[in-house]
Amino acid sequence: MRAPLNERKYQFIKLVNSGRSLKEIKSLAKAVDTAFGSEYVNAGSLSNLARLEGGLHTLTRNKAINLKTFRFKQRSVAGLTRDELIARWVTGIQPLEGKMDWTRDGNLIRRGKKNKPRPGSSKGKVRKTSIKGEKKVLRDFEALIGTLSQLQSQHGKNNHNALRKAFNLKRTISGKLS
């Protein structure tokens, strides 16, 4: 079960303010997981990141892929939310390692009496998460897959020399156009 939202926000604010989130991978994953929450990020950008992660995951598996029907789709991993999956992909933590540990550690441990929760106290402390370039990367990958599919249909899947020549020709032509 995920940690309550107020606990995640508290740890996120403390980790970002202390600078620890940039040094330790697990702390970074906690911060990114919370930063990808619906309160802090545009849903369209998050969806594009999820599609990119799912497509790259599919492309890197050792299995034959039909490029004509290939689409970048979100994937789901049992027990992980979309935010957690993308946070682990961005930070490099393997998605199937299990649940994220939300127990406080290091400088997050409160010494003394516990403070009462104050709903809404994190409002305005953190700006919206900005994700830049995800649409262009997704569009470029889709164009690459389409070009590879077209080259395969024109020159055959097993004719590697013809594919290499056609790829080099296309790269030379596109380089001259830009």
The number of folded domains in the chain is 2
Residues 15, 36: one domain? Answer: yes
pTM above 0.85, yes or no: no
Beta carbons within 10 angstroms of residue 85's beta carbon: 24
Indicate the helix (H) or strand (E) that contains 73: none
Q: Are 142 and 56 in contact (CB under 8 A)?
A: no
Q: Letter for the amino acid at 65?
A: I
C-alpha distances (whole Å) from 173 to each of 150, 169, 177 are: 16, 6, 6
pLDDT less than 70: residues of the chain:
1-2, 19-23, 25, 62-64, 94-98, 107, 155-160, 163, 166-167, 169-178
- 24 and 107 both lie in a single domain: yes
Residues 119 and 153 in one domain: no
- Same-domain pairing of 27 and 114: yes
Structural domain boundaries, residue 54: 5-130
Residue 158 has φ and ψ, to the nearest 5°, of: -100, -5
